[in-house]
Each structure stands twice: as structure tokens, then as C-alpha cells.
Structure 1
């Protein structure tokens, strides 16, 4: 069995993965600025004869490592994230997530003779802000793979495959005409009035949304002085849904009508721009997810069987190009929210080492089960193709 050999080999490489996590956690880098992190990961991979291509897809901190290249039927991708959060650091655990992916790649490279597949490790930067997997998706990077996988961190329970929700951010701006609020208000048109009216209208829209839709926003600019009618006002809104098509087909047209109506009512104009890349929901693959559950059971990893969709990531976009899997590994049995200093402390602690080993165990166990049973890969891909017909 491939599985036993791979799991046993984790011990041979785990210390280097632990050190990588600690190094990245102590030196967090912001999205799209992960120059040192990307370099450190590539250096470790190349130390183990995994040839890396930097500046991948013309993204400065992205890379592709060729783990195994042979005349094989199946192509496998291991994804790697390594960006941190502003003001927090690795509160999403990407330092440990990167270590999990790298550890999995090193084990596979060390057992290359057992692996009847081509395997790449792909460094995908800037998940926390822009979502740079999306332009990689648009360039067809993931189209050749039979499946891709990466592990994230979580708490309390591990999750076999994260159910993600679609996400997009809108930057809304109203443009009016400045004037003195007392001397000549009739010469002005308040951009803030247009924005405030739209905020109330969006709140009314929110009440009518389908289950699974989340709408939140903030005012970024509302004027410069109470005695000046604001000529410009800005807000940023996020829209999430368990179904990406709802954002495109229902919410965007409704939002456009709201902004148009509020501009007409206040004799202002408006701009609405989608900020960076919209994230898709997760095209959830039941066949592959059941395999991950079996790996977790066999390795005594406590998991939540049917979690609700509760987060967003650009791997959702990848999941519409090939079967994509995003298991979450609990770093503690207690509930600790992501994006917090508590999670940073856990990532920097010895608890991270157990999570890294568990994450690599899940990825390697998943890959070995599929290669031992290629009929499951075929079934997985049939389910994927059918899902695209229904989306």
C-alpha cells in the first residue's frame, strides 16, 4: 500500500516543515508582498531537488514546483498559501498551511518511485486580499489537473472539505456638487445624501435575500466639514452567497437599480466598482470529500461531518476548473476564531507541529487512496463534469 509508506515518511521531513512554519510565522508578509516567504519555500523545495519556477503567471511571489514529472496518466496539484494579515500576522495560519503543503511535497518526492502521477506544488499568493488564484484560473493554470488539494487551519474540529461561499466587494461612490450649507444650499447636491439613501435601500434589500446571503458595508468617506455639502461620498460593501450565480443574476442587478434610483432622487451620480476579484462558492465534490473523511477516520482525526458554508476563498474559483479540496485541520480542541492574535500564538506554539503532521497525513492519505483506486478518480471527475452542467 502506498499509504503506509507515505505516512511513515512524514517523520523524515517533518522537522524542516516545522522550522518553515516558525520562520514564516515570525516573519509575516502582507498579500502580494510575500517575497521572503516565497523565496524560503522555494529554497527548501529545491534543496530536495524539486525544481521551482518563480514569478509564475507573471505574479512576483507565485511559484510552481515540479515535484514529480513522469509519463503518467494523472496530474495532481498541491496548492500553497503564505500571505499574512495586516496588523495580525499569520492569524489565518497560512504559515502552517504552507508547511503542510511543503511537507506533503517532500514526502512525495522522496517516494517518487511509488507515485504513478505527475505532481506539482503551486505557490498561490495573496489569498487574503485580491485572491490571486483567480487570474491563475483565468490563465488556465488548473485545467490540466485531475484534482488539487491544500489544507487550512481551524479549531475545535477538523473539516474534510470546506464549504465556501461566494464573495465580492463593491466600492460605491456618489458624486454631487459642493456648496455652502447655509449661504447657498440650493447650489449643492449632497453625495452623502445619495449614499445614505442607498445604505437604507440596501438594508431593505437585505431583508428580502435568500438564506445564505450576507451583506455588510462601511462608510469610507462622508464629507470634509458640516458647513460644506459633500461633493463626494464613498462606501465599501461585501456581498456573500452560498451560490455565486445569485450574486451575478439577482444581487448585482438589484444593487444597480438601488444606486440608480438614489442618484436620481438626490440629483447626483454614482460609480460602482467590483474591488479586485470576486470569489466563487465551493464546487463541492462529494466523492473526493468522502475519501478525505475515510482518511481522517483511519488516522483518528476528529472532524465535523457536515459543516455549514461559512467562509470565502479564491480556491472556490479553482473548484470550477478541476475538483478542488480544502480540508481544515484543527490546531486546538477549543474554539479559537481565525484572524486573531490567539490563532497567531497557536501557530507559533508546539501545537502547530501536530497540526502540520495531521494536515500532511490527510493530503498524502488522500492522494495514496486515489492512486490505489483510480476508479475513484474517474468517479470524482464524472461528478465534477456533471456539476458544471448544473451550474
Structure 2
């Protein structure tokens, strides 16, 4: 029996454990950076089946690291990535509970068949994807540098062999002015809100002249306390996205910085610009590995679409600049339902999640089996990565 067939056939042995994990995580959602119970539960499941896993990986309390397969004579290292944070109010509306179950199910099967595996395989818990992006300090700290490949599967409404992502940087702009009575002595005041509002108009002007796939979005966090007081403080939070991290870093943000400082000068206020979270990079998209995943989907009757341009962001983009990384999507439904909605969350806990979890696991196992059976595939991936 071929390795791939044996791995796929092992899904039945562990799938109920994966379904139960999805249900537990879904019913106990935790916000980004607060996934203490989720991390603990996943580590418990991994340890239960002989995978040495520990919490507090890389000095991140809600991250974990587990050794799935250890082969002393192998020079190939693979990372299974795991997300498990939820969203405010709507819980696992991004499907991370099921996505985590997919990575864990793949890990359990690979561990069960470790005698047939030629690679070193680790599973890494990467929390806080929805907010700050904790894969980023891991990537910057060299966690992924040793890996020949990293992979995880995300839920969607369409199957796709890989994702494309927009880079983004998020900033808070805090203006300080001078308060005064808006009717009795307005000339004594300097409106922090005016400085912020003028900046928002400047962002609109930047958007008009920016390259395609540049997205500027944000909101006012603080704008005053009363209508008869010229605001002393005002604060806004804005995200700047593009399909190129270099474009955001070297062209958009310098433009934004100059504009905001000019708005402060125009309103005789002061402004402090604070980065929020980490800068997310675009995805280093590798055609060679993507095609292998597409072939797996085709062979297992998963109709798929190729994503031509990014319409969201993920911190796996930063991972993709340190090692070849893949982020295939598996369809939870064919209905026109957006992620990050209550309707999508309802499907994550429904019976529809079960075949979705199985299909996601098939994608990972089929991909890794083909890498093991044909060393030329991994060489092609590494060559493209190094030349891209």
C-alpha cells in the first residue's frame, strides 16, 4: 500500500478526536492572545497520543510546540501550523477551531505512521492571528528558518490550493491640542479632532493616487467629550494594505507620516504615531508547491479555484519569507456566506464541518506524502523559494 493511501485511510481512526476538538474550541472561544484554555486542550490531545508537546513556546504563553516525528538521519524538516484564536462576539467565525482540528488530526496520523515517515515533522501553535499576528515575532526570531516547508489549512467557501495575502501595517494616530470653551473662547483652543479629521481626508487623497490593491481602512477611537469643549485629545487607528510589503513600508507609510505631521502643523496640534501590532507581509506564492496541492485536490474530487489576488491578510505571509509556506483553503460550504459572520460560525459547529476537517487533513497528508515519495518536488519548491 502506498504511503499516501495508508495515511489517508488512517483518518477514520482519529477523526472523532478531531471533531471533538473542533467542538470544544468552538464552545470555548478565546480572543487573540488569550487562548490559554485552547492551547492547553490542544497540547493535552497531542500528548495523549504520544506527541511531545509543551505550552509557552518562544516565550509566548498561548503558543505551543510539539515533536510529531523525529528522524535523526533526515535533513528535511516540516512544520504544521495551528491557529485557534476567536473573534469578539462572533467566536470562531473564521473557522480556527476546525482549522486547528485539521492540523492536529494530520499530526496524530503522521505520528501513528512514523515508521513510514522520512521527515522530521513538528506542530507549532501560532496564536493571535486575528490581531497582532504572533507568527511574526516567531518568524523574526528565526523559528521557521530551519524548515523546508510549513503548511496549514484554512476554512473558506471555496477550495483553493494556496492563498495570496495583502501586506499591511497598522498605526494609531494620537493628536493633542488645547482645550477651551467652544463658544466663549474658541480662539484659545486647538482642536485635536480637527487634526485627526484632516488626516482622514489626507488618507482619502492618498488612496486615490495609490497603486491597485491598496486598501486604507480605520476608525476614530476618541474624538472629544462634549460639544461645547474643543477636544484636547483625539485618536484614530488605521490599517494600510497592499499586495507588496515593500510598497507599504517604503512608499505608503512615508507618505502617510508626512501627511499626518502636516495636518498637525495645519491645526497647531501635536501628533504621536504608534505602530499597532506587527507589520504583516504579503504571501510569497510558490507555483511549484501550489500545483502539488492542486493535484491532491483534483485526485480526491475537490473542485478548486486558483486565487489570483489577495483580498485579506495573514501572518503566515511573514512565515513565507523565511521558508516555503502554503495556506490552502478547504470549502465549508458552497453558499455565499462571508467569513467573520455569525452565519459562517454556525456552519463551523454544524455537521458540515466534519467532511471539511477530513478534506483539509487529506490535503496536508497528500501533499506531504508526495514530497516524501518524490524528492524532486521539494527541490523544485526550494529552488523557486530561493529565486523568488
TM-score band by shorter chain is: over 0.9
Which residue does the alignment assign to 1:229? 230
Alpha-carbon distance between aligned partners in 2 of 1:305 and 1:56, rounded to the nearest angstrom:
34
Deviations 1:243-265 (A, max 9, x none): 11111011111001101111111
Structure 2 length normalisation: TM-score?
0.98
Deviations 1:285-338 (A, max 9, x none): 111000000000000011112442111010010000000000010011112111
Which residue does the alignment assign to 1:106? 108
Alpha-carbon distance between aligned partners in 2 of 1:235 and 1:301, rounded to the nearest angstrom:
44
Residue 331 of structure 2 is aligned to residue 330 of structure 1: yes
Alpha-carbon distance between aligned partners in 2 of 1:357 and 1:287, rounded to the nearest angstrom:
24
Mean Cα deviation higher: 48-57 or 300-309:
300-309
What secondary structure is seen at the aligned counterpart in 1 of 2:150?
strand
Alpha-carbon distance between aligned partners in 2 of 1:266 and 1:311, rounded to the nearest angstrom:
35
What secondary structure is seen at the aligned counterpart in 2 of 1:211?
coil
Which residue does the alignment assign to 2:125? 123
Any unmatched runs of 5+ in structure 2?
none
Alpha-carbon distance between aligned partners in 1 of 2:201 and 2:40, rounded to the nearest angstrom:
48
**2:79 is matched with which residue: 47, 55, 77?**
77
**2:137 is matched with which residue: 135, 138, 142?**
135
Any unmatched runs of 5+ in structure 1?
none
Deviations 1:2-60 (A, max 9, x none): 11111111111111101111111111111111111111111111111000121000111
Alpha-carbon distance between aligned partners in 1 of 2:188 and 2:346, rounded to the nearest angstrom:
56
Which residue does the alignment assign to 2:349? 348
Alpha-carbon distance between aligned partners in 2 of 1:345 and 1:182, rounded to the nearest angstrom:
52
Which residue does the alignment assign to 1:162? 163
Structure 1 runs (4+) deviating above 3 angstroms are none
Alpha-carbon distance between aligned partners in 2 of 1:366 and 1:168, rounded to the nearest angstrom:
32
Which residue does the alignment assign to 2:60? 59
Residue 302 of structure 2 is aligned to residue 301 of structure 1: yes
Alpha-carbon distance between aligned partners in 2 of 1:220 and 1:125, rounded to the nearest angstrom:
25
Per the TM alignment, residue 242 of structure 1 is displaced from its structure 2 partner at its CA by 0.6
Which residue does the alignment assign to 1:5? 6
Which residue does the alignment assign to 2:155? 153
Alpha-carbon distance between aligned partners in 1 of 2:29 and 2:261, rounded to the nearest angstrom:
42
Alpha-carbon distance between aligned partners in 2 of 1:138 and 1:62, rounded to the nearest angstrom:
16
RMSD: 0.9
Per the TM alignment, residue 183 of structure 1 is displaced from its structure 2 partner at its CA by 2.1
Structure 1 length normalisation: TM-score?
0.97
Alpha-carbon distance between aligned partners in 1 of 2:199 and 2:86, rounded to the nearest angstrom:
33
Alpha-carbon distance between aligned partners in 2 of 1:188 and 1:39, rounded to the nearest angstrom:
53
Which residue does the alignment assign to 1:144? 146
Deviations 1:70-92 (A, max 9, x none): 12120000000011101001000
Alpha-carbon distance between aligned partners in 2 of 1:332 and 1:74, rounded to the nearest angstrom:
35
What secondary structure is seen at the aligned counterpart in 1 of 2:364?
helix
CA contact (8 A) 1:159 1:307 kept: no
Alpha-carbon distance between aligned partners in 2 of 1:130 and 1:194, rounded to the nearest angstrom:
27
Alpha-carbon distance between aligned partners in 2 of 1:224 and 1:333, rounded to the nearest angstrom:
47
CA contact (8 A) 1:148 1:323 kept: yes
Which residue does the alignment assign to 1:313? 314
Within 5 A, what are the aligned runs for 1:132-281? Answer: 132-155=134-157, 157-281=158-282
